[in-house]
Amino acid sequence: MEMLSRAPRPGGTVARSWIGRARNRWIGGAPLATTRLGAPSSHRIQVATARFLATTAYGDADSIEAERRTIRRGIQDLFGVTRRQAWRVVRAAENDSNRDGHEAAAQVRDAFDTNQRMRIMGLAWELAYADGLIPAFGRVLADRIGAMAGLHPEQAIAARSFANPPWI
């Protein structure tokens, strides 16, 4: 249990986030478990989503591991897979010889509807929180990454509500 081995954060957020993730997993709250057509999300689309998120992250060498964990947790929660499966997806995305972020973004746009892409954008916001760059680059993130995901800037900003930064 990853959450129980860490030191508690102020305000009891460790228990709250663990309970929220467990509740979502048990009641089927995985918003990307199916594509917009209703088919189960394939491993290929999971890897494309992780690759898309990886292109939005990895800006600061000090926060790479925090960003990798954020992507893993997001893949786990959004697709409703186990931690081990999520790590496999992250490693496959990192080892993919075709690391074109625009191709991964196109796969994400094709596979998911607007609400699902807003959930992915929420995870991009979490990556920005992990990096600590929100004050300076929040609008740039919303414009650039939101456009890659096929979202209007207003939708990209609204997706911030899906983010679960570590200090909340």
Q: What is the DSSP string of 48-67?
A: HHHHHHHHH----GGGHHHH
Q: Interior CA angle at 120 toward 24 and 85, to 5°?
A: 60
Q: What percentage of the chain exceeds 70 in pLDDT?
A: 69
pLDDT tens digits along 140-154: 767 788 888 889 888
Half-sphere exposure of 4 (CA within 13 A, CB side): 2
Structure token digits, residue 146: 């939101």
pLDDT at 50: 92
Question: Which amino acid makes up residue 86?
Answer: A
Tens digit of each residue's pLDDT (9 = 90 or more) over 102-121 = 888 899 999 999 999 999 98
DSSP 81: -
Q: Where are the domains of the chain?
A: 13-24+39-162
Q: What is the pLDDT of residues 14-26, one digit of tens each?
A: 444 555 555 555 5
Please enumerate in sequence order all residues whose Cβ is within 8 A of that of 136, keeping only pairs 6 or more positions apart, or say none: none
What pTM did the predictor assign? 0.75
- In 3D, which of 84, 72, 90, 152 has the Cα closest to residue 117? 152
Fold classified for 13-24+39-162: TerB-like (1.10.3680)
Length of the chain equals 168
DSSP bridge pairs for 40? 34
Q: Please tell me the distance from the alpha carbon of residue 1 to that of residue 20, in angstroms, as a whole number.
A: 14
